[in-house]
């Protein structure tokens, strides 16, 4: 990764709860529900006959019975909060390298981690995520994310897994649902790396849909292969027009805005010339066959 610039578009901020509650003149349904929920979670001791003591009782009954049967989740209790961190950028901007660094940092703090990549990407190795510099880390290579929990082991997933890394996120159709469920309901930290845009600078898969539900969003840049300036876009060097086309430096290159725009017009002109010359050739062939 070189010349990488990180721009955090959304940074962790104050809890919206504290902001909203501050302005509420009298207890609202929202603040009441919030108090109930935090009482459940914290098992706060309150005076008898208050709503809190009733909730404490519910909690302690649940806890008491948990020695013989699995704990029942209370309808108002929140799961431990998870997080979603999104890392985007053009090809060769260091997305996989960043994902790897963050995953290893989490592992060093004792967290249980797992990395998933799309099985569509068969470039270097199917069993590992591999950076363009050759760094590797073992991963689950899957067709979709919904099958992960079962493959990983439901008990292991629910009770022991802390952090999930997802590489080549643009290829997963169920990305949004998986990340929302994992962070909101299952308390997982999800680190997502993927292309924000394709070679035409169109949104790619559902990576951008994660922004409203993400805690942080980082856009990385590479270096323009033509002029060496900061590169935010990926240019396809070949004629193929399909959105999904697996490849590396033989097919794609990182470019700056200027060279993306120039390159597109150069490519369009070249295609127009090729098209017209093939039409002429075709005309000649037809004419000569008459
Ligand atoms: N053609 C290239 N242009 C730019 N960087 C390249 C190229 N080929 C290899 N690299 C290397 O790729 C590294 C980034 O790799 P990686 O983390 O896999 O990026 P990404 O996942 O964003 O594609 C850069 O630090 C650079 O050393
Ligand atoms: C721009 C673009 C890329 N792809 C493919 C090419 C690669 O296989 C991956 C991106 O890998 P990286 O880790 O970001 O280097 O996506 C594609 O299918 N379509 C595109 O437009
Ligand atoms: Zn350039």
pLDDT in tens, 239-254: 999 999 999 999 999 9
Predicted confidence band of residue 227 (pLDDT cuts 50, 70, 90): very high
How large a percentage of the chain has pLDDT more than 90? Answer: 58
For 93, residues 6+ apart whose C-beta sits below 8 A from its C-beta are 1, 4, 220, 221, 222, 231, 254
Place of tokens 């008898």: 48
Q: Which residues pair with 41 in a beta bridge?
A: none
Q: Provide DSSP, 248-267.
A: -TTTEEEE-HHHHHHHHHHH
168 is catalytic: yes
Annotated catalytic residue within 83, 168, 240, 250: 168
Give this prediction's pTM. 0.76
Separation of 1 CA from ligand 3 center, angstroms? Answer: 17
3-state secondary structure of 195: coil
pLDDT for 39 beyond 80:
no
pLDDT for 61 beyond 70:
no
Q: Which long-range contacts (CB under 8 A, 24 or more apart) does 7-15 make?
A: 7/218, 7/219, 8/216, 8/217, 8/218, 9/211, 9/217, 9/218, 9/219, 10/211, 10/214, 10/215, 10/216, 10/217, 11/216, 12/215, 12/216
pLDDT averaged over the chain?
77
Q: Give pLDDT, residue 44.
A: 33
Separation of 253 CA from ligand 1 center, angstroms? Answer: 10
pLDDT for 144 beyond 90:
yes
Q: Give pLDDT, residue 240.
A: 95
Residue 200: count of CB within 10 angstroms of its CB: 13
pLDDT for 276 beyond 60:
yes
- The structure tokens listed for 14 are 């104050």
Rounded (5°) CA angle 231-126-157? 100
Residue 247 beta carbon below 6 angstroms from any ligand 2 atom: yes
Residue 252 beta carbon below 6 angstroms from any ligand 2 atom: yes
- The structure tokens listed for 241 are 């027009």
Residue 94: count of CB within 10 angstroms of its CB: 23
Residue range 8-27, pLDDT digits in tens: 333 333 333 333 333 444 55
Q: Give pLDDT, residue 123.
A: 77
Q: Give pLDDT, residue 247.
A: 96
The answer to whether the beta carbons of residues 4 and 221 sit under 8 Å apart is yes
Helix (H) or strand (E) holding 163: strand 163-167
Question: Comparing 21-30, 79-88, 96-105, which segment has the lowest mean pLDDT?
Answer: 21-30
d(CA 132, CA 284): 46
pLDDT for 188 beyond 60:
yes
Residue range 196-211, pLDDT digits in tens: 999 999 999 999 999 9
HSE toward the beta carbon, residue 223, CA cutoff 13 A? 6
Q: Exposed, middle or buried, 41 (CB in 10 Å: 0-12/13-18/19+)?
A: middle
Q: Give pLDDT, residue 72.
A: 52
Residue 222 beta carbon below 6 angstroms from any ligand 1 atom: yes
Q: Give pLDDT, residue 75.
A: 55
Question: Comparing 51-55, 129-133, 190-194, 205-209, which segment has the lowest mean pLDDT?
Answer: 51-55
**Which has more confidence, 213 or 266?**
213
d(CA 89, CA 91): 7
The answer to whether the beta carbons of residues 74 and 40 sit under 8 Å apart is yes
Q: Give pLDDT, residue 122.
A: 79
pLDDT for 99 beyond 60:
yes
């Amino acid at each position: 990764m070189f010349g990488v610039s990180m721009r955090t578009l959304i940074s962790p901020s104050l809890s919206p709860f504290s902001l909203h509650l501050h302005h509420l003149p009298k207890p609202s349904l929202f603040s009441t529900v919030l108090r109930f929920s935090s009482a459940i979670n914290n098992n706060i001791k309150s005076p008898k006959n208050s709503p809190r003591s009733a909730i404490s009782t519910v909690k302690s009954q649940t806890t008491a019975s948990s020695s013989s049967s699995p704990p029942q989740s209370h309808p108002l209790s929140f799961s431990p909060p998870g997080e979603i961190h999104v890392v985007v950028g053009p090809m060769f901007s260091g997305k996989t390298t960043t994902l790897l660094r963050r995953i290893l940092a989490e592992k060093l703090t004792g967290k249980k981690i797992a990395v998933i990549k799309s099985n569509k990407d068969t470039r270097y190795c199917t069993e590992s995520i591999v950076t363009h510099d050759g760094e590797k880390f073992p991963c689950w290579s899957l067709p979709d994310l919904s099958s992960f929990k079962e493959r990983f082991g439901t008990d292991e997933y629910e009770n022991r897994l802390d952090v999930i890394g997802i590489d080549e996120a643009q290829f997963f159709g169920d990305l949004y649902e998986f990340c929302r469920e994992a962070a909101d309901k299952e308390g997982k930290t999800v680190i997502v790396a993927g292309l924000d845009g394709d070679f035409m600078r169109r949104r790619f898969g559902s990576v951008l849909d994660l922004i409203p539900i993400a805690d942080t969003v980082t856009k990385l840049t590479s270096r323009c292969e033509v002029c060496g300036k900061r590169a935010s876009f990926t240019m396809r060097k070949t004629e193929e027009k399909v959105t999904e086309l697996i490849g590396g430096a033989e097919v794609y290159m990182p470019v700056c805005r200027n060279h993306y725009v120039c390159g597109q017009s150069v490519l369009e002109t070249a295609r127009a010339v090729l098209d017209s010359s093939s039409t002429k050739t075709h005309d000649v062939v037809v004419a000569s066959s008459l």
